[in-house]
Structure 1
Amino acid sequence: MVNLRSLTSGIATAAVGAAAAFGIYQRFSNPPAQTPPAASTGVAATAGVTPPAVANAAVATGAAALEGATAPRLPLDAEGHLAHVRGVRDFFDYFLTARSQLSDTALDARVKAAIHTQLARKPAEAEATQLWARYDAYLSALDKLKTNDKTEPPAAATLDFDAIARSIDQRAQLASEKLGEWADVFFKDDLAEQRYALARARIMADTSLSAAEKVSRLEALEQSLPAARREALARERRDDAVRQGIQQALQQGDSPEAARAAAAQFGPQAAERAAHFAQEERDFRDRYAQYAGQRKQIDAQSLAPEDRERQLTQLRQQYFSDPANARRAAAFDGS
């Protein structure tokens, strides 16, 4: 159940709500990060299986890409056909992460060579190769759709939720056209999550609703989700509550034992990590206190700004060997 107190704190300012809404727009108005360049016509045009000898020549042009990594396994059914599961998309997306290192031809060859290596002499080889071409055609069309859209992103305060909804529907239609029966396999869960997030953002941004009314509508929206998703959200809220408790324990300088107890419900490993972080936090605060004493001596010297900053940088490096902790100390200095 959505908690009124947590909701009220979540919408304490209009700026927070606007920022969340703008994040929704940014997320839905851009193609996936894995989208290759629009000019990947070589992939979309080829639906057959590439012989290994041909593939290897192009693969050599991008030998460094994905070095040391292993492609996911393509899932198959009992008859050796490609299984209709999300893991097939994960296989393709693995290679798309290297698009900036490979030409379109080399990327195409890498995918087809991997398909052949995994599926040689199985019915799924031709199926996966043809599906790769269809997926590439979808991504190319999606990239072109973004290129043709000259609309400037709106300011968060004037966000058009209806336009975002149309954009989601447009992309869903495009997936259906290019991928057919695979569209749901690849994107059903993503689209459902996007539409849920958009509906939630609408409610959160509705200034005509009171906090209690928002609670009621959010609860109704959540009840419309599948049971598994509702359970996942409930777990996320429980986990968030525990994390907040751990964070509060760390901020208050509680003992590692207290942090361990706060994280115990996550299991013994999580409890030990929490205790470790608590000890690190205590060590940082102790070290910062010593550092702050030395910093006061530097401040008392009335140095020129550049000399003061140079000495403070050296002092932070002396007390904090971890650059992240040195940056954190600098942030504490300015707080």
Structure 2
Amino acid sequence: MKRHLALLTTVLILACSVFIALKRLPVPDALYPGNTSLAHTTVAPEAPTYSTSANTQPRTAPAPLAARLTEQLTKQLKSTSLSGTTVPATLTINKAGRLVVDSNSKAVMDYFLSLSGEMPDARIRDLMQQWATGNAGEAAADDLLALYDRYQRYRQQFASGEYAATGSGTIRGQLALRQRLRNDTFGADDAAALFADEDRYDRFSLQRHDILASSMDDREKARALSTLRQSLPAHLAQQLEQQTNLQTLQQDEQQLRDAGANDADLFVLHQQRFGDAAALRLQALDQQRQDWQQRLDDYHGQRQVIQSSGLSRQDQEQQLAQLRNAMFSETEQQRVAALERIQSASH
């Protein structure tokens, strides 16, 4: 069972870290050679661009309006973790100007949702609407907001109960549960379009596990893994390489820490590998993580005091609610609640 749970966690982390977490962190440009859709680049007021397919066509939004809204968004993001970045995808729209649901839609939503904890949810929603209106028109923006509301419900359900990564059951069984949740939330067609890349990567991860767990010798496994990697679309193969680079970076950082390195030594490592600008971004992100972990540790310490106080269950819950309100934003409280659910399920 522990082996199954560990493997499930690995599969989910692989998918989520590639398609969600990488969009949240402004990873050094050196990890994204030639791919500006994934690397966070400098924002500039530009005329909008549109994805097209056989059933879509480019639509022209008033250039002055698009430029003005883009400039406003740039200013509003200046004091956030997304400062100096651009939205990593364009929306796909049909001839009627309505949104065509695809992986671009998810990339846009994930980009704005990475602001969770930095500003109220309603403000994040308004910023996304502002950007979508300027870049795809009001009809597509309305469609995106409706999809966003469903996406938020999906995220909340997925983070709780039987859908949590620590739930019981086989890996494929858990993935089937998740697929059913997606179909129930979005409909089968929209779910397939929205999570196409993640589904493909999940299949890759499972096939990779099957190869590694097989009775083939090392040479046969190496050939099979090479063939499997070559079967990935170019953008997913590049994302796999990015993840490997990040893992290598984390291993090098840990080796330095184990040898007694301090923050200045880590900055030198980042500087040598990625340059000054990227090293500064990584330093800022590390500080944010440290600040969050410190607040979380402080909360856990005070929670333990309350739970050991001998107060009634009702009084304890009241004091814990007051503590969470004092220490965390509304969105952060959701994150804390999810972490506590996972902790409870693991005991």
TM-score range relative to shorter protein: 0.3 to 0.5
TM-score (norm 1): 0.44
State the TM-score, normalizing by the size of structure 2.
Answer: 0.43
- Identify which of structures 1 and 2 has the higher relative contact order when contacts are C-alpha pairs closer than 8 Å and 6+ apart: 2
